[in-house]
């Protein structure tokens, strides 16, 4: 995770506040150079669902379950997604954590 400001490129920043959405709470940074707040990119920036849910669905698909079965298991977990979402997550995060 890089703490460089996406607006001015400054590397001086402090933790300042939280950003809330339906799936998670993320810490924000305040750039000392330009005074703007930003959320550091952890690889899951601007994702609607939480990191744990995404990685769980990808791991189920990696184990050989069909997209329909992954959707059913995610629904039991309280997460409503489509089969196409599973495929898109697989394309984007399929080899995440395999390093």
- Tens-level pLDDT at each residue, the chain (99 residues): 567 899 999 888 899 999 887 777 889 999 999 999 998 888 888 888 888 999 999 999 999 999 999 999 999 999 999 999 999 999 999 887 564
What pLDDT does residue 97 have?
58
**Within 1-99, where are the H helices?**
51-62, 67-76, 83-93
C-beta separation of 97 from 55 below 8 A: yes
pTM over 0.85: no
CA distance 18 to 25: 7
32 and 6 in contact (C-beta within 8 Å)? no
Q: What is the pLDDT of residue 99?
A: 47
* Structure-block tokens of residue 41: 């990119």
Strand partners, 23: none
| Domain regions of the chain by residue span | 1-44, 51-93
Quote the pLDDT of residue 8. 92
């Amino acid at each position: 995770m890089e703490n460089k400001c996406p607006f001015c490129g400054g590397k001086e920043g402090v933790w300042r506040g939280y950003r809330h959405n339906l799936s998670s709470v993320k810490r924000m940074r305040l750039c000392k150079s330009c005074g703007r707040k930003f959320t550091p990119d952890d690889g899951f920036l601007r994702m609607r669902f939480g990191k744990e849910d995404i990685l769980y669905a990808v791991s189920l698909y990696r184990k050989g379950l069909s997209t329909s079965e992954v959707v059913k298991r995610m629904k039991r977990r309280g997460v409503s997604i489509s089969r196409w979402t599973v495929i898109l997550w697989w394309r984007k995060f399929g080899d995440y954590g395999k390093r």
